[in-house]
Structure 1
Amino acid sequence: MRLAILAYDQISPFMLSTPLAVFGEPFLASGHRVDVCAGQPRLSATGGLMIEAPFPLEAAREADVLILPGWRNADEIVPTPITSELRAAEGRGAIVVGLCLGAFGLAEAGLLDGRRATTHWARAETFAARYPKVIVDSGALFVDEGRVITSAGVASGLDCCLHLLGRISGVAEANRTARHLVVAPQRAGEQPQLIERPTIGSSVDRRITDVLETLRANPFPAPSLDVLAERAGMSRRSLTRHIRARTGGNLGEWLRRIRLERAQDLLAAGARGLEDVAARCGFPDAQALRTAFRSELGMTPRQWLARQRLD
């Protein structure tokens, strides 16, 4: 598997480093390759930095996955040399990814016409007005349309890249990489971009973290909110409010995602029999597992497994 990352003048070092961090040494050690390609060998970056790109833009034509990490200005049209590479990649069946404002590049190349896509919430209206054929989901963290993937701003690029790593190397490897980077395991793409969060490091934040991490380690029981509230030392109403602020939904929705992550790990590792997988993950039966896959991922377990095997 060969990945190409398109760099450009005045690129954000953070956006460039996002796919490089996720597809790092363990990924390379597995026999994959990651190339940074640009139209010129030496680039200026934001913050006064200079970056040397080891490969020309044309080298991206050999990639199985092409990533455009952001774009320097939503009011500036992404130039033809970049959109041509994006269009050529999609034409040969490669996966094309636009992180943050990189979605503007994919749209300019015509790759998002008739497809769902997202971008940074602050530029979603501009995006929708400029590209009316795109079905803009301004709330999603990332949108996976199979061979075309887009993400919202900055940190959600990590979620998008971890999701892509899960497709390539399996969910277990994506979660291991997330732990190594000290970020949350893959957040669902449908999770909202803007959610209220408690103050970092506060006593309430630590107690909510303890509750959620305990449930993450053992998601089998269906704990009552009253029991959890007593454990956290707060009212049921307060606990519900803080869980919604942390996860973007209610406790049941979050538990379903955690159980689904465990099911994905098992299926990717070769587990057979949906009834057995469902029981090992805390679902009442295989039908409940299928429903969770359709609700969270928009596909059946079999379809999800097929998409993990990239050509």
Structure 2
Amino acid sequence: MPSPTTFEELNDSRLGRPNNGLSESELRVSFVLSPRFTILPFAGFLDALRLAADEGDRSRQIYCQWEIVGPTLDPVTSSSGVEVTPWRTFPDIDECDCIVVVGGLLPHSMSHPPETLSFLQEANSADKLIVSLCQGNFTLALAGVLEGRRCATHYRHDKEFRDLFPEIEATTQEILVKSGNIITCPGGTAAIDAAFEIISHRCGQARATKGLADMIVERPRAAFSPPRMPFDELARCGDLRVERAVAMMRQNLSENFSISELADRVGCSASHLSKAFRRFSNASPASVWRSMRLRHAHWRVLNSSHSITEIGYECGFSDSSHFIRWFRKSFGETPNGLRNRMRSSNSEGCVSYPLNFGH
């Protein structure tokens, strides 16, 4: 049997659903896989769609439909070596509600042919919803569709992105960034949160929540939720002193006891603790603790109505000027500047729903 070439044929040949036309589906998603794409975000987003698309666990493409498209039908190799073959070449843009670009290893995520970049440019011009997972933001930036927008980037590749695209505002502090018709996320399990957002607003929250429940995901995270941070690796580095110190830092973000006291509590000297931290992170215990506090403060600025002074005290800073100075050094703007800018963006519709889903 020849490969199906349309959503209707896909439903007929693979899923046993009668061909009743595309208009019945509430969400049509086309996946574009980058060379050496990562499996986890692709699978997480896809499974959220699959489980929301039908009743029970029958996996029929009823409420949601999806396909994998590309410039050719040549298999695309993932970062783990698993190959996935596109189901058809790029469709007419009117057949898509949402295009999901799955990134992966660099520089491979930027190794797309002109046809792929043109397809993304056409989708953007048509105001279609475009989603990037993992290093898909590099692909979108290369296509020129991130101009004038914010985007989320993975902390491991933040410097690379900023060096290549200094004119684009990127952040490692949010699991989702919604800017106009584009959603970006740093990958991993954040792809499930991205899928939840989109399914919820297109198919209803009950259907989106069904997918999460079937995937044994307790709850969706808000867009401003902090993603996994570099110091999370210290919590499982294998050195008991460092692991205990990190746990104690997390439990005492508002406390101001010294590194010497912290070292005493984990059973070593301050110098030994500093050497252990530098071995695993190339950073001192004090800088790691301060980074934790500042990242939590960033989240509190965006997700609470507390004053900047209150947030500073909550996060262990002895006075607001000291807090503001470190915040600006870390994030490039003051806490009030960040809060006002994000409120302004929300009021202008730049980072909030409703988005255009291709109606």
Deviations 1:182-241 (A, max 9, x none): 1242211112223577989xxxxxxxxxxxxxxxxxxxxxxxxxxxxxxxxxxxx77989
Corresponding residue for residue 34 of structure 1: 66
Q: How does 1:153-168 map to 2 (within 5 A)?
A: 153-168=187-202
SS at match of 1:154: coil
**How far apart in 1 are the matches of 2:49 and 2:127?**
20
Are 1:15 and 2:41 matched, yes or no?
A: yes
**1:148 Cα shift?**
0.7
**How far apart in 2 are the matches of 1:75 and 1:45?**
10
Residue ranges of structure 1 left out of the alignment (5+ in a row): 201-236, 258-293
Corresponding residue for residue 286 of structure 1: none
Equivalent residue letter for 2:202: I
SS at match of 2:127: coil
Distance 1:300 1:186, change over 3 A: farther
Are 1:46 and 2:94 matched, yes or no?
A: no
**1:25 Cα shift?**
4.1
**1:176 Cα shift?**
2.8
Q: Which runs of 4+ in 1 moved over 6 A?
A: 196-200, 237-241
Contact kept? 2:38, 2:134, Cα under 8 Å: no
User: Could you say what the CA RMSD is over the residues aligned between the two structures, in angstroms?
Assistant: 3.8
Are 1:104 and 2:138 matched, yes or no?
A: yes
Are 1:298 and 2:346 matched, yes or no?
A: yes
Corresponding residue for residue 287 of structure 2: none
**1:32 Cα shift?**
3.1
Q: Which one of 64, 67, 76 corresponds to residue 100 of structure 2?
A: 67
Residue ranges of structure 2 left out of the alignment (5+ in a row): 1-26, 55-60, 237-250, 256-291, 305-341
Identity %: 18
**1:57 Cα shift?**
3.0
Q: Using structure 1 for the length normalisation, give the TM-score.
A: 0.62
Corresponding residue for residue 173 of structure 2: 139
Q: Which one of 114, 118, 132 corresponds to residue 84 of structure 1?
A: 118
Distance 1:307 1:47, change over 3 A: closer
Equivalent residue letter for 1:4: S
**1:98 Cα shift?**
0.8
**1:156 Cα shift?**
1.4
**1:89 Cα shift?**
0.7
Distance 1:239 1:129, change over 3 A: closer
State which structure, 1 or 2, has the greater radius of gyration over its C-alpha atoms.
Answer: 2
Corresponding residue for residue 3 of structure 1: 29
Q: Tell me the number of residue pairs that the alignment of Structure 1 and Structure 2 aligns.
A: 234
Report 1 or 2 for greater relative contact order, CA contacts < 8 Å, sequence distance ≥ 6. Answer: 2
**1:300 Cα shift?**
10
Corresponding residue for residue 284 of structure 1: none
Distance 1:160 1:132, change over 3 A: same
**1:82 Cα shift?**
1.8
Q: Using structure 2 for the length normalisation, give the TM-score.
A: 0.55
**How far apart in 1 are the matches of 2:228 and 2:41?**
19
**How far apart in 2 are the matches of 1:300 and 1:35?**
33
**1:88 Cα shift?**
0.9
**1:22 Cα shift?**
1.3
